Amino acid sequence: MEEVFWLTIILLFIGGYYALVVMPKQRAFKKHQKYVVTLKEGDEVVTYGGLIGTITELDAEVGVAKIRIADGMEVRIITAALVQQFDPEEIAHNAKIGLDIQEAAE
């Protein structure tokens, strides 16, 4: 009887871990993959490193893109490192929220 109790507790922990950790990661990965598939040359993007650039060349089969970050300066980057479209208003809004939180903490 005691074994059944512990087996039930272990299964509950495994189910909880899967529901709270694994499933959200899978959803985020699928969402990012859908975003990467929609990219095309000329899109302004933000990288994980915070660089803002314009896609000049995209090789979806290899998973590599070239982005122009300044006049005459292009870098190759893996498409998985492209986070989002560049939207100056959204970035300014998020920065303002961050500043308000810091000011409230002081």
Spans of all domains in the chain: 1-38, 40-106
- CA pair distance 57, 74, nearest whole angstrom: 10
Question: For residue range 25-64, what is the model confidence (pLDDT) as tens digits?
Answer: 999 999 988 888 889 999 999 999 989 999 999 988 888 9
Question: For residue range 73-83, what is the model confidence (pLDDT) as tens digits?
Answer: 999 999 989 99
Q: Give the CATH number of domain 40-106; options: 2.30.30.140, 2.120.10.70, 2.40.240.20, 1.20.1050.10.
A: 2.30.30.140
Average pLDDT, the chain: 89
Tokens at 46, concatenated = 């933000």
How many CB atoms are located within 10 Å of the residue 80 CB? 13
